[in-house]
Amino acid sequence: MNSKADGILGQTRITIHSVAAAAGVSKSTVSRILDERLPRSDSETARRVRKVAEELGYVRDVSAASLRRGNTMTIGVIVPRLTDTVMAMLYEALAKACSRTGRFAIVATTDDKPKADRLAAESLLKRGVDGLILSTAREDDDFPDELAKRGIPYVLALRTDGHSLSSVGDDRLGGYLAARHLLDLGHRKIGVIAGPSYASSSRGRVDGFKQALAEAGLSADPAYIVPSSFGIESGAVAVETLMNLNPRPTAIFAVNDNTAIGALSGLTKLGLSVPQDISIVGYNDIPIVSHLPTPLTTLRVPFEQIASNALDLLAGDGSDDDRIRISAPTLIPRKSTAPMR
């Protein structure tokens, strides 16, 4: 390195001006070459600039670049809790999708409480996020409408209110596929661990389940549809309710994998075997369910596609007839379901 570069190395912070001076090019040339959002150039000048930047230890000042563009390239993500594997998977998918476009995702949790949603949003907005992605939409809460009135960019993910920009799974199709799978195995008395009614994901999955039953000439008995939270304990409580029915169901559809895991635990305590005594289907395909002693049949949700669609919508890449993007789930048959005996 020449003496000019050696002098620059002694500075406390290496700036774009430092790289330009050491490489003998203009500041705008350096800025263009080092901008990850632009197509990578392999010209001799570009290679020299990147080499000088690396030798000097230059680190791009994202905050300064963001101020010049009028944004921070930071997205705020609001989820009920990160101890819920589904929400952790969504956040990881969003973080990866952000990194591919030079953005950064920060997360806040709310324990699925509407008041906490508002506090989390205000905290993220004070930190200058460019927009919000929320997985906490509830049927009984108009928080998304409040954000819209304030002109705050936001997108709903996994759950929708039916009119906001949303990126969701096809929950109705997923519930339909779960029921169709159990019907094809000969089951007719099928219980449902239905999740909370305030979540569009729960309602959609139950509606799809009912549709499949209706097509098979069966009616959904309300006694066999038990509400729950999305937690493991709630699944254990719900399965006990189902097993007290007469006649008992021969199969269960749980609208998420956590409640399915709780149901498996509850069935074991009751001395029942899966799938010998009863079949069970979950939803989401979180990593652990394929490694259970009885691997769980479930619906796989395309989290990466949902995350990518959410970011596209937040960036304004949607139209009036494309406000809700829906990604199809896939049935993953495993050993927790079998023909009815």
pLDDT tier, 249 (very low <50, low <70, confident <90, very high otherwise): very high
Percent of the chain clearing pLDDT 90 (strictly above): 74
- Let me know if 182 is exposed, middle or buried by CB neighbors in 10 A (0-12, 13-18, 19+): buried
pLDDT at 8: 38
pLDDT at 27: 82
Q: Tens digits of per-residue pLDDT, 29-56?
A: 888 888 766 678 888 898 999 999 888 8
Q: Tens digits of per-residue pLDDT, 165-215?
A: 999 999 999 999 999 999 999 999 999 999 999 999 999 999 999 999 999
Q: Tens digits of per-residue pLDDT, 224-245?
A: 999 999 999 999 999 999 999 9
pLDDT at 5: 43
CA-to-CA dists, residue 273 to 133, 206, 277, 336, 337, angstroms: 41, 25, 5, 10, 11
Residue 338 forms beta bridges with which residues? none
pLDDT tier, 129 (very low <50, low <70, confident <90, very high otherwise): very high
Residue 131 forms beta bridges with which residues? 75
| Pairing mode of beta strands 330-332, 298-300 | antiparallel
User: 153-172 b/e with 16+ CB inside 10 Å = b?
Assistant: bbbbbbbbbeebbbbbbbbb
Mean pLDDT of 101-118: 93
Looking at per-residue confidence, does 321 or 153 come out higher? 153
Q: Tens digits of per-residue pLDDT, 4-15?
A: 444 433 444 678
Please say if the pLDDT value at position 290 is more than 70: yes
Please say if the pLDDT value at position 300 is more than 90: yes
Compute the radius of gyration of the chain from its Cα atoms: 26
